[in-house]
């Protein structure tokens, strides 16, 4: 009985660590973009299967959520969002990111003002960011 319990605990711990490692593979590029006010070209979740162009995003910050997962906050100025292409501040889960490429681009005035204002990690009354990694 104890061996089965130990095996289960080790399996869960290993699964958690491999998930954390998989999530962080985009962290260096996204932090570089956030620190240098760069734009990225991002393929997210099911964008390719929907025939969407890659999203263009000004990266504002990368953070760790209360759930231990990584998130990116930024200004999206191209790409599918609920079937429409519009500019807005957005939050992206790392586990749904398919690819990231740093590209040349400059923040629009609106994007820069959103970054300058900062983000407190909340959407309405739901505050889910535990710690900023970079901005």
Q: Which residue has the tokens 């490429």?
A: 101
Query: Model pTM?
Result: 0.78
Look at 42 and 20; give whichever has higher pLDDT: 42
Q: What is the pLDDT averaged over residues 91-97?
A: 92
- Residue 37: per-residue pLDDT: 92
- Residue 79: per-residue pLDDT: 86
Per-residue pLDDT tens digits for 98-127: 999 999 888 989 999 999 998 888 888 889
- Residue 64: per-residue pLDDT: 94
- Residue 7: per-residue pLDDT: 40
Look at 134 and 13; give whichever has higher pLDDT: 134
Read off the pLDDT band of 8 (50, 70, 90): very low
Q: What is the pLDDT averaged over residues 74-96?
A: 84
- Residue 123: per-residue pLDDT: 86
Cross-strand bridge partners of residue 123: 126
Read off the pLDDT band of 18 (50, 70, 90): very low
């Amino acid at each position: 009985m104890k061996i089965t319990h130990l095996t289960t605990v080790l399996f869960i711990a290993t699964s958690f660590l491999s998930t954390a490692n998989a999530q962080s593979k985009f962290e260096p590029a996204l932090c570089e973009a956030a620190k240098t006010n760069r734009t990225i070209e991002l393929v997210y979740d099911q964008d390719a299967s929907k025939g969407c162009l890659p999203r263009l995003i000004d990266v504002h910050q990368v953070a760790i959520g209360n759930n231990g997962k990584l998130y990116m906050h930024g200004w999206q100025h191209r790409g599918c969002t609920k079937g429409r292409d519009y500019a807005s501040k957005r939050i992206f889960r790392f586990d749904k990111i398919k690819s990231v490429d740093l590209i040349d681009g400059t923040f629009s005035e609106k994007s820069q003002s959103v970054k300058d204002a900062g983000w407190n990690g909340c959407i309405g009354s739901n505050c889910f960011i535990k710690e900023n990694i970079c901005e």
